[in-house]
Amino acid sequence: MPLMHKLNQHKAPAILSRRNGHKITNHGDDDKSSSEGNTTPCVARISELASHSVSALLHLRFLDLSGNRLSVLHPEALRILDSPLQELNLSHALFDPRALPDLTTALRWGDLRGLLKLDLSGNSLSLLSPGMFTHLPSLQQLFLHTNALSLVYSGTFSGLIHLKLLDLRENHFKTFQKNALTELQSLGDIRILLGENPFSCSCDIRAFVSWLNSSKADVDVESIRCSSPKRLAEFGLRGLGLEAIGCVAPSPDITDLTLQTSYVFLGLVLGFVGMVFLFVLYLNRKGMKKWIIETRDACQDVLEGYHYRYEIDTDPRRASASVSVESGSMQDHSGLSQQLPTDTCINRASTSPPADVCKPNMIC
């Protein structure tokens, strides 16, 4: 049966809650258990909250939907005229954790300005979006225990100016980063429950320990204990020093001394390497000298060979002889039997371009 059809059977209810398993119980106007003669219907096994599911309950102050199997929440499912709702219990009610965006939208559009208590425990929530509770300015108690939360983002609890109790027990918190601590610090001197979380007492928890020792909030520090490492298991975080964690912050003097020591050590290593290199050269001085002499002689031979070849190439007599040999070869190949005329002239090879010295009727 749809939820709205169940609720329409009752007029002016004050409390809507889940009791007696699946049974819906009606307490009439004469029932002493109901306050001020109001009707108290009880609802269970709900999987969907449609639009304006409780909008007709104009005097509804307490809505208990815990233990249901909600998978769909319409954005206006919790909207009631004049916002009479003061307590909303949704513990163990979200069957699908993916319904969290729908719940965020329903809290935003529900106009729940008068809501004082909100219970979202036991819903396997892994994150809370920033600004999720911004539209609940009167909220005083927020129960988020027994979920899967591991991080607190900046702005998660923004707008909760009247919050007095924040329950974050039994989640997956291992530590709180600086932005998360700033978010918790912005809540003022409220009661914050952080026990039964698997805190890792490593170097990353230093900021959290410092916050515990200086925060104005009323934190259940006696219930906050290390879960790891094993040597600190079940060790309370109250009074946990950096020495116990093994993260002693070095002073500036110690840092400078360490840096100077590193420079000295580096200088010694470089000096030792240089001495070894010089010692090796000393032991091989004869071989090095022989190698240098052989290399020098080889270079001289190469240079002399280039110089000799250059002189031969620039000798004009060698050029004339080569021209004569080439002319003789041409005569042999052409099969000429007669000698060349006596007035045949042959230009000599020189470094500058030869001048045309042939006269008319001469073979050049």
Is the whole-model pTM more than 0.85?
Answer: no
pLDDT of residue 44: 62
Task: Indicate the helix (H) or strand (E) that contains 118.
Answer: strand 117-119
How far apart CA 321 and CA 300 sit, in angstroms, is 31
**What mean pLDDT do residues 329-334 have?**
53
pLDDT of residue 21: 35
| pLDDT greater than 90 at residue 309 | no
pLDDT band at 321 (very low <50, low <70, confident <90, very high): low
pLDDT tens per residue, range 137-152: 999 999 999 999 999 9
Return the structure tokens found at 37: 């003669």
Could you tell me if 227 and 202 are in contact, meaning their C-beta atoms sit under 8 angstroms apart? no
Considering the chain, what is the average pLDDT of its residues? 77
> Do you find a cis peptide bond into 229, omega within 30 degrees of 0?
yes
pLDDT band at 262 (very low <50, low <70, confident <90, very high): confident
Half-sphere exposure of 297 (CA within 13 A, CB side): 6
Task: Indicate the helix (H) or strand (E) that contains 117.
Answer: strand 117-119
Helix, strand, or coil here: 174? coil
How far apart CA 161 and CA 139 sit, in angstroms, is 8
pLDDT tens per residue, range 82-135: 889 999 999 999 887 778 888 999 999 988 999 999 999 999 999 998 999 999
> Do you find a cis peptide bond into 354, omega within 30 degrees of 0?
no
